[in-house]
């Protein structure tokens, strides 16, 4: 069974990714299980750049297949912010609570019709030599509510409402979010190709 290291220490993301890749028979591991791997500095200017950097650095360090993922919330009224700074919107030591509070504060007084937003996810697969072999992306449109709803998910999920369902990601069951989310769309697009690339590359290396 081929191991793929997820270049993230966010346990919420890891659980989602494990579920999404479960049908393909890979052993999924988290970079947090390898304490000697340094934290990637997310200094890219785009989600794509950060995802590729995470994948490459982990692959080079461990000599394994690695997936880098970078995702965030882009709010129309904030001209795309917080974007690549979603995890540290309220500062380097911020958490979900402080990030959400800053988001709501900045949207204070913004009309419902102008609170459109989208989650974006960019994914990159690096082979054991650190070369990027696949990339993928996914998006999910919604709007930002004024009050949190639901206990599920993480990050901005309690405030991110799917208009058609009138439910936030925080209110949706895991199986529904897994079908609709930006992350699931990115991984659904990549997963079938991922299996082919990994198998063919490993076969060539060992054959």
C-beta of residue 46 within 8 angstroms of C-beta of residue 53: no
Q: How far apart are the first and last CA of the chain?
A: 16
Rounded Cα distance, 21 and 44, in Å: 26
Cα 49 from chain centre:
13
pLDDT in tens, 43-81: 999 999 999 999 999 999 999 999 999 999 999 999 999
Given this model, what pLDDT does residue 116 score?
A: 98
Q: What percent of the chain has pLDDT over 70?
A: 97
Cβ-based neighbours of 13, under 8 Å, separated by 6 or more:
6, 69, 71, 183
Q: Is 178 annotated as a binding residue?
A: no
Q: Is 11 annotated as a binding residue?
A: yes
Could you give the 3-state DSSP secondary structure of residue 142? Answer: strand
Q: Is 160 annotated as a binding residue?
A: no
C-beta of residue 97 within 8 angstroms of C-beta of residue 160: no
**Phi/psi of residue 139, each to 5°?**
-135, 155
Q: Answer whether the bond into residue 82 is a cis peptide, omega within 30°.
A: yes
Q: Is 91 annotated as a binding residue?
A: no
Q: Tokens 């998006």 sit at which residue?
A: 139
Is the predicted pLDDT of residue 8 greater than 80, yes or no?
A: yes
Q: What is the DSSP secondary structure assignment for residue 40, as one 8-state letter?
A: P
Q: Which of 43, 48, 70, 95 is an active site residue?
A: 70
Q: Is 139 annotated as a binding residue?
A: no
CATH number at residue 28: 3.90.950.10
Average pLDDT over residues 125-133: 96
pLDDT in tens, 131-154: 999 999 999 999 999 999 999 988
Q: Is 13 annotated as a binding residue?
A: yes
Given this model, what pLDDT does residue 207 score?
A: 56
Is the predicted pLDDT of residue 5 greater than 80, yes or no?
A: yes
Total domains in the fold of the chain: 1
Could you give the 3-state DSSP secondary structure of residue 90? Answer: coil
User: Strands 116-126, 132-144: parallel, antiparallel or unpaired by DSSP?
Assistant: antiparallel
Q: Which domain holds residue 83?
A: 3-206
CA-closest candidate to residue 7, choices 64, 45, 76? 64
Q: Is 43 a catalytic residue?
A: no
Element (H, E) at 14: helix 11-21
């Amino acid at each position: 069974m081929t191991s793929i290291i997820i270049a993230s220490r966010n346990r919420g993301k890891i659980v989602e990714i494990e579920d999404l890749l479960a049908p393909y028979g890979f052993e999924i591991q988290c970079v947090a299980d390898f304490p000697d791997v340094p934290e990637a500095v997310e200094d890219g200017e785009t989600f794509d750049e950060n995802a590729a950097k995470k994948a490459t650095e982990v692959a080079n360090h461990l000599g394994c297949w690695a997936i880098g993922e970078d995702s965030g919330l882009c709010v129309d009224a904030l001209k795309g912010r917080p974007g690549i700074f979603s995890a540290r919107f309220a500062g380097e030591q911020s958490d979900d609570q402080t990030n959400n509070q800053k988001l709501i504060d900045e949207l204070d007084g913004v009309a419902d019709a102008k609170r459109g937003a989208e989650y974006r996810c960019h994914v990159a697969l690096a082979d054991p030599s650190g070369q990027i072999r696949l990339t993928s992306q996914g998006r999910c449109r919604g709007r930002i509510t004024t009050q949190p709803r639901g206990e599920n998910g993480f990050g901005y999920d309690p405030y991110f409402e799917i208009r058609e369902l009138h439910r936030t990601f925080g209110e949706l069951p895991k199986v529904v979010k897994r079908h609709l989310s930006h992350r699931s769309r990115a991984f659904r697009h990549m997963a079938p190709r991922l299996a082919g690339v990994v198998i063919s590359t490993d076969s060539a290396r060992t054959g």
